[in-house]
Amino acid sequence: MMRHLISAADLTRDDAVLILDTAEEMARVADRPIKKLPTLRGRTVVNLFFEDSTRTRISFEAAEKRLSADVINFSAKGSSVSKGESLKDTAQTLEAMGVDAVVIRHGASGAPYRLATSGWIDAAVINAGDGTHQHPTQALLDAFTMRRRLVGRDAGLGQDLAGKRITIVGDVLHSRVARSNVDLLHTLGAEVTLVAPPTLVPVGVGNWPCEVSYDLDSTLPKSDAVMMLRVQRERMNAAFFPTEREYSRRYGLDGDRMAKMPEHAIVMHPGPMVRGMEITAEVADSGRCTVVEQVANGVSIRMAVLYLLLGGNESAVSQTRTEESK
Amino acid sequence: MSKILIRGAKVLGGEAQDVLIDGETIEAVGTGLSAGGATVIEAEGRILLPGLVDLHTHLREPGREDSETVLTGTRAAAGGGYTAVFAMANTFPVADTAGVVEQVYRLGQEHGYCDVQPIGAVTVGLEGRKLAELGAMHESAAGVTVFSDDGKCVDDAVIMRRALEYVKAFGGVVAQHAQEPRLTEGAQMNEGVVSAELGLGGWPAVAEESIIARDVLLAEHVGSRVHICHLSTAGSVEIVRWAKSRGIDVTAEVTPHHLLLTDELVRSYNPVYKVNPPLRTERDVMALREALADGTIDIVATDHAPHPHEDKDCEWAAAAMGMVGLETALSVVQHTMVETGLLDWAGVADRMSFAPARIGRATGHGRPVSAGEPANLTLVDPAYRGAVDPAGFASRSRNTPYEGRELPGRVTHTFLRGRATLMDGKLA
């Protein structure tokens, strides 16, 4: 296992399957009355958030606490960063306090990579989303959700997503979720199709291991999972599309469109959803929509990642059993 | 001033000859010249070039003396073989008045390492709205002939047209930083395969090419000459080639880094590779080399852009754009153009001295190496091989993309009007 988790593209198939399998073990912990493992006792993890993201931060924090790590939350707002402190100084300050891992969310693409490779600090770095670059734990939790739903909770163990057809719809250009998912899903053997208006697909997408379509309706019948990306209303002002209504009409998922999907196919969304924009309430609240599961799975995935990066080679579960037998 | 005899150097890469300097001028060029009482520099195997001329340097003074001053910048220039540099106008205050250009000019004269020819801003405060007093800057002691808002594009077509017309009155030239501003809002790197993957805002080639196309047509329409700064794309080469074939009075420059580096390096997210215009693709690099060889691109200009360490020791988006270049330019040109067989040393002399001096009307520079000419000379050891070590730079800044990279060639001596500013690799 690697020392940092910066990009979904850095994961091999075996790395990714190991993380998904480990997350299944972690998920079982959540079903117990005492949802805690001693694995990271005495280790300190800082959640270094330069961008507001309550959901991701809470998810990491829950994962860290369930592994018994000491958790420090650092939000750039109101901190020395807002007074002009550099990323380097902030990171070194935190490391001087004895931090073993840094979970970083940053608005600048590449900031976690810089933190991990510039010799500024020695701690493990976990990317919790950087600019429009990567969000690897999101891709992992999405793959975990797909594997559970499309392959099976037990049947999925040790398996990848070979042959599954995944459609990702929306603002690909500005989406780190899309980039991470394309990389990871490709590694796991899935076939990915991106659907978006041409203005929201990056120049250079031709080199990505996926298909690109501008037509949602023709793609839906061939999808095992459809992932809707959030579309920010302000994109409209930069002429990426004419109006919110036109966007919804062409690229939004409503009940009629959902009916075109195969029976078994699921609807996913990384959240937060903009109801009425990319997804209607009817779809968001349907049994095929996995949004809430994705949130729960996020904690398991983040536990798995933290455990594998920091916990060494012992099995998480055997350690748990020892703990329980005491 | 005593005499100096440079013995056995290959003048412009040709036959080995002796060059005798007396005072500020070249007294004789020939074989078997007697030393007399002259200081002798044994130069077998070395190349003697006319002193290099950089049409595009940022000296940062006044205003950003933490990154460079006229003194440190001209020492870097002398170390890189330059005897004249054109200092860009984007200082604080902006060089948009006679007072500021005269100050920069005088500092260059006082320090004496390299002639400093200030470039005047085209518009007041580089804001693109109102013409600066171009005539006053021309008539000042600095004698400005090159005008540029470099760092910013003169994007208003009417302002650009007027500037092109206005400077004709005194033989001036507008040097355009070709960057369509709306197409490059939030731009962080070349737009293409790599930017798509890295999630960095794209700087599309068309943002450069569309401005160049507009400006060569404007220059044709009003009968003016126009110079294109740091041309960086294969498409721009095609437009300039077309314009020249049409007889339009356009000249263009390429930086050393655009002749060597590509946007693949940005994958490191190391801001030392962040520059404007951005590093492009391999295809662009090859087109630029070819264009420099065939004369479509007239000159190499460094776009020497010093920045303090803290402005590069950070995340990509927060970092400043630019690279230092004066002390590595000739080595990069030797590596990319000479050792690839695209250009001989006479060609290097043209692209790095004769042509830039001609475009910028730098009197006394870019002259032939012959008797009676000013002794502005650069002696190069082309056999030298060594890794670039920024610790040895004379520049106040260290933001080089070549740290640790092995590059060929080394300037051993630079003479400014007969006086050695660089002697055996050491600044005088």
pLDDT tens, A56-94?
999 999 999 999 999 999 887 756 666 678 899 998 998
- By C-alpha distance, the chain A residue nearest B201 is A132
Banded pLDDT at A233 (limits 50, 70, 90): confident
For residues A142-168, average pLDDT: 97
Does residue A316 carry a pLDDT above 60? no
Banded pLDDT at A320 (limits 50, 70, 90): very low
Q: B313 catalytic, yes or no?
A: no
User: What SS3 state is found at A95?
Assistant: helix
User: Which residues in chain B are contacts of A113 at CB distance < 8 A?
Assistant: 269
Mean pLDDT of chain B: 97
Contacts of A128 (CB under 8 A, 6+ apart): A47, A49, A53, A56, A57, A60, A103, A104, A105, A135, A137
- By C-alpha distance, the chain B residue nearest A111 is B315
| Probe site for chain B from A50, A51, A86, A114 (most B CB atoms < 10 A) | A114
CATH 2.30.40.10 boundaries in chain B: 3-47+373-384+404-427
Contact status of B315 with chain A (Cβ, < 8 Å): yes
The reply to whether B59 sits in an annotated binding site is yes
Look at residues B253, B105, B124, B244 and name the one whose alpha carbon lies nearest to residue B176.
B253
- In this prediction, residue A79 carries a pLDDT of 63
Q: Can you give the pTM of this predicted structure?
A: 0.94
Distance from the first to the final alpha carbon of chain A: 30
For residues A215-220, average pLDDT: 98
Does residue A5 carry a pLDDT above 70? yes
The reply to whether B276 sits in an annotated binding site is yes
CATH 3.20.20.140 boundaries in chain B: 51-360
- In this prediction, residue A76 carries a pLDDT of 78
| Probe site for chain A from B182, B262, B310, B315 (most A CB atoms < 10 A) | B315
- A106 → closest Cβ in B191, B194, B315: B315
Strand arrangement, sheet containing B250-254: B146-147, B173-176, B226-228, B250-254, B299-300
Chain A residues near any Cβ of chain B (below 8 Å)? 86-88, 106-111, 113-114, 117-118, 130-134, 176, 179, 202-208
Any idea where the domains of chain A sit in the sequence?
8-134+295-325, 136-293
- A203 → closest Cβ in B196, B270, B317: B196
What does CATH list as the number for B3-47+373-384+404-427? 2.30.40.10
User: What SS3 state is found at B72?
Assistant: helix
ipTM score here?
0.90
Distance from the first to the final alpha carbon of chain B: 15
Strand arrangement, sheet containing A101-106: A70-75, A44-49, A101-106, A124-130
* Stretch (H or E) spanning A127: strand A124-130
Does residue A321 carry a pLDDT above 70? no
Mean pLDDT of chain A: 92
Regions of chain B where pLDDT drops below 70: 1
- In this prediction, residue A2 carries a pLDDT of 81
- A114 → closest Cβ in B192, B199, B269: B269
Does residue A46 carry a pLDDT above 70? yes
CATH architecture of structural domain A136-293:
3-Layer(aba) Sandwich (3.40)
- In this prediction, residue A319 carries a pLDDT of 42
Which of the following is catalytic: B303, B311, B350, B381?
A: B303
- By C-alpha distance, the chain B residue nearest A133 is B199
Provide the β-strand partners of residue B408. Answer: B385
Give the right CATH number for A8-134+295-325 from 3.40.350.10, 3.40.50.1370, 3.60.15.10, 1.10.10.10: 3.40.50.1370
Homologous superfamily, domain B51-360:
Metal-dependent hydrolases (3.20.20.140)
